[in-house]
Structure 1
Amino acid sequence: MSLLLSPSSIGNCQLKNKVVMPPMCMYKSDNSGKIMPFHSFHYASRAMGNVGLIIVEATAVEARGRISNNDLGLWEDSQIAGHKQLVDQAHEFGSKIAIQLAHAGRKSLVKETTPIAPSSIAFDTSGGFKTPQSLDLEHIALVKQLFLDSAKRAKEAGYDILELHAAHGYLLCEFLSPLTNKREDIYGGSLENRCRLTLEIAKLLKEQIDLPLIVRISASEWKTDGWNIEDSLYLSKELKKIGVDSIHVSAGGNQKDPDLMPELSALYQCDYAKKIKESISIPVIAVGLITTSKQGEAILQDKVCDFVAYGRELLRNANLVFQFAKELNQKELIDNSYLRAYL
């Protein structure tokens, strides 16, 4: 039997296979941050296609925490209903669904607001990026509450799993890096201090929200003297200690001009996932130009990861899992309405 198409679990959430749709921003909302018809069709079609876990795109915990004015949000109660509809549609077709709770930090391009960050360092001086406001301790406490409040709304909407976004140069990632965090208080300086906010938010969510929690990290920011895989190993171990259920391993995004960026080729981030999996006893999700069933099977067999995230391929093909079922000789997993396409 295929490893990729066999059941598994994250925390107490049972998944019908190990295929994950990672969060990918669609920029299809409006300034309300609400779910639109596009989102319903987009995510429901992947549930119809038998994806084991769908992770909804970065969803902001406050309006100024959006990447753009077209991002989803869950910062107020009026946004819950649309998310509940999304969840119900996924469940109708047997998929489990998670939501990535996020704050864009200094990478926010929202027109009406000033971005926030650990330190007042702009991501770029062009492209519309503004110089962010450095957070004081009072506002850091508010950020923690914003994540918790949004997680409570996600629970009310019926999501199966939460994902905390600490990757790709957004707010929590900015706190982790010594290149973007120049603070001199308890949230800056040492590795332990720079990890503090991510750990505090993860601990809050685990203590107060009865849902499995994934944390997505950039294993390296690909910059000399920046956040690296050794730092990620430390963070992953600390996240496991407080009860986090899975680590979703990506990379990059915190620097406009990384000088250590690898060639973007198939499986280029899998070494990071393998090193993290070897260091912790909770599931690891691998992502990064993984495109075929053969690749997915191989990295599971080689214990690189526990789940395989297919991003671009699931944008290209909502029925990717049916294709994999044919290739892996498990046609019984193909919905009978689509079976004739795979004879």
Structure 2
Amino acid sequence: MSETNKSLEPLFRSFKSDKLNLANRTVMAPMTRGFSPEGIPGEDVAAYYRRRAENGVGLIVTEGTGINHPASVSGASIPLFHGEASLNGWANVVQEVHQAGGKIVPQLWHVGMTRKKGDLPNADALPVGPSGLSLDGEKITEPMTEEEVVQMVDAYAQAAADAKRIGFDGIELHGAHGYFIDQFFWENTNKRTDRYGGDIAGRTQFAVEVIEACRREVGPDFPIIFRFSQWKMNDFKAKLAKTPDELEQFLKPLVKAGVDIFHCSTRRFWDAEFEGSDLNLAGWTKKLTGKPVISVGSVGLDGEFTSFAGANTTSLDGLIEKLDNEEFDLVAIGRSLLMDPEWVKKVRDGRANDLLPFNKEALQKLY
């Protein structure tokens, strides 16, 4: 690293954990793109991810990919993670990223009750969730039976097994933002009185079973990343855990089940999570679990990602300070990398003036 870029050194230190080694601390955040007709990622999707690997991203987390359940996604062009054609497409993505020297994990996803009745690709499939409630608490369908819940655990485990089989470097389970797994976590959407409900620790039971089932399929040495959030798509101020003690009660079962790295989703990485401390959600998660953590939230931009309006580039000084203080271990970059595949390389080379502001029209193209 050149003399002028010494201040960025923490971002470009190698990362080593017991199951994952990376060239630097940068992560491509998962971002739904919807460029996979019939759920099959093609050559253009493979090239999109490869470009990020070629330009120095430490770890790529794919966009959310639908597990083997008819209501897992909303949209005919959202990639799937089951079926020969889709898995062959993902195998090609892995090959391209590895040839470019990168590492990549799929984000395994089910949208749950955020899906609308009639949504493609399976218009006849009803949305499912722990209690059949929308994020606003409206009853849409019947609660899932225990048998249906167990079948969903199996679907996640099968996806994990397939991820390892086709060469991915780990998996990420999407447990954030009010999607399926998060609907079990959140008291507003989980009113169950069986083993999948109860207090904040009790509501982790479904996720615990998913993590344990995935671990059985992939073995002891394959990284499992778990993404969670406090905020939901319909309520940016929502809290699973209102205090550090509640957060610890929530995290402990997930650690015991086998999570290796937590991906702590916030809208602004600089926001303190609880009063009386400057730590953000990732910082608190690392402090309470001792596990490596990924921080995320409007990195390098001056506008919150949830608006998806335009945003200008901004200083990385606050991010680097927190990273250098070891408040978190890895940094996920979303819109900046969506817009500019060379973002990491430009930052590393001290080319701040060449960084591109985010333009919402970028959502319509695979840069």
Could you state the TM-score of these two structures normalised by the residue count of structure 1?
0.84
Alignment CA distance shift 1:266-1:136 (3 Å): closer
- 1:178-257 alignment to 2 at 5 Å? 178-210=187-219, 211-221=222-232, 226-230=239-243, 231-251=246-266
After TM superposition, give the deviation of residue 75 of structure 1 in Å. 2.3
Alignment CA distance shift 1:33-1:133 (3 Å): farther
Aligned partners of 2:319 and 2:88: how far apart in 1?
35
Other-structure match for 1:317: 340
After TM superposition, give the deviation of residue 7 of structure 1 in Å. 0.9
Aligned partners of 2:247 and 2:72: how far apart in 1?
24
1:135 paired with 2:144, answer: yes
Other-structure match for 2:64: 58
Measured against aligned partners, the alpha-carbon deviations of 1:67-109 in whole angstroms (never above 9, x if no partner) come to 3222111122332211111001111111110111011100124
Aligned partners of 2:348 and 2:33: how far apart in 1?
27
After TM superposition, give the deviation of residue 224 of structure 1 in Å. 7.8
> Match for 2:156 among 128, 147, 153?
147
- 1:35-50 alignment to 2 at 5 Å? 35-50=41-56
> Match for 1:119 among 131, 134, 141?
131
* 8 Å CA contact retained: 2:80, 2:86: yes
Secondary structure, aligned partner of 1:116:
coil
- What amino acid is the match of 1:158? G
Secondary structure, aligned partner of 1:73:
coil
Alignment CA distance shift 1:188-1:268 (3 Å): same
Structure 2 gap segments, 5+ residues each: 1-5, 273-278, 301-314, 353-367
Other-structure match for 2:303: none
* 8 Å CA contact retained: 1:50, 1:321: yes
Aligned partners of 1:6 and 1:225: how far apart in 2?
34
Secondary structure, aligned partner of 2:71:
helix
Alignment CA distance shift 1:283-1:41 (3 Å): same
After TM superposition, give the deviation of residue 178 of structure 1 in Å. 0.6
* 8 Å CA contact retained: 2:269, 2:280: no
* 8 Å CA contact retained: 1:287, 1:309: yes
After TM superposition, give the deviation of residue 190 of structure 1 in Å. 2.0
* 8 Å CA contact retained: 1:220, 1:232: no
Could you state the TM-score of these two structures normalised by the residue count of structure 2?
0.79
1:3 paired with 2:10, answer: yes
* 8 Å CA contact retained: 2:29, 2:62: yes
Aligned partners of 2:153 and 2:71: how far apart in 1?
15
* 8 Å CA contact retained: 2:10, 2:324: yes
> Match for 1:303 among 326, 336, 342?
326
| Larger deviation, residues 68-77 vs 129-138 | 129-138
After superposition, the CA RMSD in angstroms is 2.4
Alignment CA distance shift 1:225-1:40 (3 Å): closer
* 8 Å CA contact retained: 1:175, 1:194: yes
Aligned partners of 1:232 and 1:65: how far apart in 2?
28
- 1:153-192 alignment to 2 at 5 Å? 153-192=162-201
* 8 Å CA contact retained: 1:247, 1:284: yes
Other-structure match for 1:261: none
Other-structure match for 1:69: 76
- What amino acid is the match of 1:218? S
Alignment CA distance shift 1:55-1:225 (3 Å): closer
1:268 paired with 2:271, answer: yes
* 8 Å CA contact retained: 1:106, 1:130: no
- What amino acid is the match of 1:297? I
After TM superposition, give the deviation of residue 186 of structure 1 in Å. 1.1
Measured against aligned partners, the alpha-carbon deviations of 1:138-182 in whole angstroms (never above 9, x if no partner) come to 100100000011111111110001001100111110000111101
Aligned partners of 2:351 and 2:247: how far apart in 1?
34
Alignment CA distance shift 1:207-1:135 (3 Å): same
Aligned partners of 2:296 and 2:215: how far apart in 1?
24
Percent identity over the alignment is 27
- What amino acid is the match of 2:155? L
